[in-house]
A and B are shown apart, each in its own frame.
Chain A
Amino acid sequence: MKVRVFVSLKNGVLDPQGRAIHHAIEGLGIHGVQDVRAGKMIELEVDASVTDAQLEEMAAKLLTNTVIENYRIERVQP
C-alpha cells in the first residue's frame, strides 16, 4: 500500500523558497497569486502490517522536524 506524508512549514515560519517561487511565478506574467509556501511529499510503499501509530512515529521522529514543520499522512487506496 502507498502512503503519502505531506510535509509543510508551520504558519509563521518564514519560507524564503516559497517567496522565490512566488517571484518567479510573477515573472511568468501570471498575477493574482497571493502567497506560495513550499513543502515536500514523501511517498512510502508499506506492508499492511505497518500501523497508523508507526506511520505517526516515522513522521514525527524523522520525516519532519516538528519545531518548524507540520505533517499530514494519507493512505492511498489502491
Chain B
Amino acid sequence: MSFRSAVITFPGSNCDRDMADALEKVSGTAPHRVWHGDAALPDGLDFIALPGGFSYGDYLRSGAMAARSPIMQAVIAAAGKGVPVLGVCNGFQVLTEAGLLPGALMRNAGIRFVCREVKLKVENTQSLFTAGYNAGQEIVIPVAHHDGNYFADAETLDRLEGEGRVAFRYAESVNGSARDIAGVLNGAGNVLGMMPHPERVIEPAHGGTDGRALFESAVRGLVGA
C-alpha cells in the first residue's frame, strides 16, 4: 500500500522540496505538490506537510497570511477528520496562526536569527510522529528561524504538559521558548508543529540522521511496513 502524502507550497516557502524529498525517500512514494491557491487537496491523503520558509514574506506576522490562504481551509478540514499534519518551522507558525495548535511563535528572545544544530529531548514517544524514538532520547536537529520563541499562557502550558502534548523540548537555550518547548501536538495527536527541521537530517550525507525516525514513524504507523 502506498503512502499518499502532500506538501503544501506557499509563495515564499523554501523547504518544500526538502520535505518532499524526505517523504519520498522514507516512504518510497513521491508526495503530491499542492499550491497555496488550490481549493482542494488530493483525495485519500495519509499525511500533509507544511514546510518551512517565509510564506508571504512573513508579512503581518510569520504564518499569518498563509493560515488564511484557500488551501488552508482544506487542511483545517482534513486535520479535523484526523489526517496527520506536520508543520515544520514556518509550517508550525502557520498551524498556530490557523488555530490548529495553541500558542504563538514570537521573535527570538535574543532578537537574532538562529541557524545551527540544536539538541532536543524527545518528550512524547506515543504519537504517530514520535513513536520511533525512545523516551527521553536526545537527538540533534538543525533550526533556522527568527520567530521561534514559543509563547502560550501558563494555563495552556500546564495543559500541554499534563496531556503529554509537548513532543520535543530544547535541551539547550535556543530562542527563549516557554519551558523550552520545540514542538507541540494537538489534542487528538494528529497535528504536530515543530521549529527544528527533521527533513534536513534524514541521510548520512546531511551530516545526521536523527530526523529520519519521525518520517519512518509516520509511514509505519499509517501504512504499515
> Chain A interface (Cβ within 8 Å of chain B)?
13-14, 16-17, 20, 62-63, 65, 67-68
A16 to B177: give the CA distance in the assembly, Å.
12
Nearest A residue (CB) for B178: A14
Residue pair B109, A14 in contact (C-beta under 8 Å): yes
Residue pair B176, A16 in contact (C-beta under 8 Å): yes
Question: Most chain-A Cβ atoms within 10 A of its Cβ — which of B68, B104, B108, B152?
Answer: B104
Residue pair A16, B109 in contact (C-beta under 8 Å): yes
Residue pair A67, B104 in contact (C-beta under 8 Å): yes
A17 to B152: give the CA distance in the assembly, Å.
19
Residue pair A65, B64 in contact (C-beta under 8 Å): yes
A14 to B151: give the CA distance in the assembly, Å.
9
With a CB–CB cut-off of 8 A, which chain B residues contact A16? 107-111, 149, 176
> Is B77 among interface residues, defined by CB-CB distance under 8 A?
no
Counting residue pairs across A and B whose Cβ atoms lie within 8 Å, the total is 34
Residue pair B111, A20 in contact (C-beta under 8 Å): yes
A20 to B176: give the CA distance in the assembly, Å.
15
A67 to B61: give the CA distance in the assembly, Å.
12
A-B contact pairs, 16 of them (CB 8 A): A13-B151, A14-B151, A14-B176, A16-B110, A16-B111, A16-B149, A62-B60, A62-B64, A62-B68, A65-B64, A65-B97, A67-B96, A67-B102, A67-B103, A68-B104, A68-B151
Nearest B residue (CB) for A66: B104
> Is B106 among interface residues, defined by CB-CB distance under 8 A?
yes
A68 to B105: give the CA distance in the assembly, Å.
9
Question: Most chain-B Cβ atoms within 10 A of its Cβ — which of A13, A20, A67?
Answer: A67
A65 to B64: give the CA distance in the assembly, Å.
8
A13 to B60: give the CA distance in the assembly, Å.
18
With a CB–CB cut-off of 8 A, which chain B residues contact A20? 111
With a CB–CB cut-off of 8 A, which chain A residues contact B152? 67
With a CB–CB cut-off of 8 A, which chain B residues contact A65? 61, 64, 97, 104
Question: Most chain-B Cβ atoms within 10 A of its Cβ — which of A16, A17, A20, A65?
Answer: A65
Chain B window 69-102, contacts with chain A (Cβ cutoff 8 Å), 1 for yes, 0 for no: 0000000000000000000000000001100001
Apart from A16-B149, A68-B151: 12 A-B pairs, beta carbons within 8 A: A13-B106, A14-B149, A14-B151, A16-B108, A16-B110, A16-B176, A17-B111, A20-B111, A62-B64, A62-B68, A65-B61, A65-B64
Nearest B residue (CB) for A64: B61
Query: Taking the nearest CB of chain B, how far is it from the CB of A8, in angstroms?
Result: 13
